[in-house]
Amino acid sequence: MIRSNRNSEKYIQAGLDVGSDKICCAIIEVDSKSNIVKLLGIGTSPATGIKKGSITHRDQLIDEMDNALQEAQTMADLIVEKLSLGISGSHIRGINTQGAIAIGNNNGSNVPIQHEITDGDVHRVLDLAKAVSLPVDRDILHVLPQEYVIDTMDSIKDPVGLTGRRLEARVHLITVATTAATNLASCAEELGVDVDGIVYQGLASSIATLSDDEKNLGVICVDIGATTTDIIVYHEGGIRHTATLEIGAASITNDIAVMLQVGIGDAEKIKQTYGSAKASMSSPDLDFELPAQNGQIKRKVSEHELSRYVEARMVEILQLIMREVSRADIKEKLTYGMVLTGGGSELKNLVGLAQETINMPVRVGHPVNLSGAVDVASRPIYASAIGLAQWKIFGEDLSLIQKTGNTFKGAMEKFKKLVKEFF
Ligand SMILES: Nc1ncnc2c1ncn2[C@@H]1O[C@H](COP(=O)(O)OP(=O)(O)OP(=O)(O)O)[C@@H](O)[C@H]1O
Ligand SMILES: [Mg+2]
């Protein structure tokens, strides 16, 4: 994928997160033996060409994507040829479906014969599970197996090699609006790179931030961006629900701009410097000065007053998230509660407010298992870009097309072949 003179046992991958506030490109190197992810380069650019997942200014967006890519390439000192591209927006939908097949045949005999399940059977059953009728303007983005059932045995994660007569797959499908995906991919291709995967941004963020325990015992991963909030619910190692809300941290900035009568740029700085998600944790005695506007006298506002606006909007966002989660058909307990990531999760005292509002454990999700330039990249704001870069290695095995097996090793074998093609 990438020209490199590095050791052949290390694999280089890139991801491009096209957000509505910033575009971020991450380049990583994965060691096939230790699975350690080393960050080689990260580049960002302010984004003005996309809002709520819809492209508003194509040429501007391409320039901004290029700026982020160039910055990451310069830092990593290599040229990206292929990358995984992130997509979000309220057009993203998640649905749970299933399919079942009979395994082997009994050659006309009435003696029951147990057949060993092969990779081919798994592909057949997944093909059936994804055969849902979709409107013409929608496509399946991901087919994510939750569990397999062989005859009456359920909760099977890898059925290959087991025996049985009936194989059922329960899967979570993520679908997108075809136009949104093709337009975004065509912008990326204008940069001279191949898009070798389009990935739901919420899924990418969860890959970068969640532990296996969280995925198994149940967790809601929420990426609060500027204009979108991506939600993904895991239980028993599988994805149970996905959705994107068209609201994000930019709403808080807009509220501040309106309430305090300041510009968006000033409101953003005020939010990040003085805003607290919990008004009770900010002092009514600490004031800050508002920027003077054309000859008006300077005004002072207390951090407490500011934080009341911030808290009100944040509570609304949290309630919308919980309303969405309550629509998911999950009866089991989500032991690990909620992991908040994305730029919006960097708001001060958000964990305290969220725990109080949703009555669940909450933590902030930083990209984990990283080495290299981590001091810059371990902020939650970069979770999606880093997850996208990891997709081909750690994420794609979640997905349907795992012809070489569903382990990291399998993904590596597949990837080794790809790398050979380039040398
Ligand atoms: N320190 C901070 N405190 C509070 N808010 C912050 C902080 N840092 C960033 N943000 C907010 O995070 C948001 C940007 O987050 P992010 O970069 O994840 O969005 P995005 O990916 O560009 O947008 P989207 O995913 O919605 O398309 C902005 O609204 C910004 O105000
Ligand atoms: Mg984002």
Write out the DSSP string of 178-216: HHHHHHHHHHHHTTT-EEEEEEEHHHHHHHHH--HHHHH
Ligand nearest to the CA of 20: 1
Tracing tokens 């997509």 back to the chain, one arrives at 87
What are the tens digits of pLDDT across the range 82-114?
A: 999 999 999 999 999 999 999 976 566 666 667
Please indicate whether residue 125, judged by its CB atom, sits closer than 6 Å to ligand 1: no
Considering only CA atoms, which residue is closest to atom 8 of ligand 1?
A: 343
What does the pLDDT read at residue 292?
A: 73
How far away, in angstroms, is 126 Cα from ligand 1 center? Answer: 37
Q: Is 44 a pocket residue for ligand 1 (Cβ < 6 Å)? A: no
Return the pLDDT at 106: 58
Between CA 328 and CA 358 the distance in angstroms is 16
pLDDT tens-digit series, residues 329-377? 788 889 999 999 999 999 999 999 999 999 999 999 999 888 877 777 8
pLDDT tier at 381 (50, 70, 90 boundaries)? very high
| pLDDT of 220 above 70 | yes
**pLDDT reported for residue 406:** 35
Q: Tell me the average pLDDT of the chain.
A: 88
Q: Is the beta carbon of 307 within 6 A of some atom in ligand 1?
A: no
CA of 156 to the centre of ligand 1 (A): 38
21 CA closest ligand 1 atom index: 22
Mean pLDDT of 133-148: 94
Task: Decide if pLDDT at 218 tops 90.
Answer: yes
Question: At 95, which amino acid appears?
Answer: I
Q: 5 alpha carbon to ligand 2 midpoint, in Å? A: 32
Which pLDDT belongs to residue 10?
81
Residues 3-46: pLDDT tens digits? 444 455 788 999 999 999 999 999 999 887 777 889 999 999 99
CA–CA dist 24, 18 (Å, integer): 7
Calculate how far, in angstroms, residue 416's C-alpha sits from the geometric centre of ligand 2: 30
CA distance 267 to 241: 34
What's this model's pTM, rounded to 2 decimal places? 0.90
The structural domains of the chain, ordered by start, are: 93-177 (3.30.1490.110), 212-365 (3.30.420.40)
Q: Which residues surround ligand 2, an ion (CB under 5 A)?
A: 19, 225, 384
Adjacent-strand bridge partners of 242: 232
Q: What is the mean pLDDT of residues 190-218?
A: 95
Is there an atom of ligand 1 within 6 Å of 37 CB? Answer: no
- So what's the pLDDT on residue 411? 37
Q: Dump the DSSP string for 85-114.
A: EEE-STT-EEEEEEEEEE-S--TT-SS---
Q: Rounded to whole angstroms, how far apart are CA atoms 362 and 350?
A: 9
Phi, psi of 42 (to 5 degrees): -145, 135
First-to-last CA distance in the chain? 10
Q: Nearest-CA neighbor of 353 among 338, 372, 368?
A: 338
Strand positions, DSSP E, 8-88: 10-18, 22-31, 37-46, 50-51, 54-55, 82-87
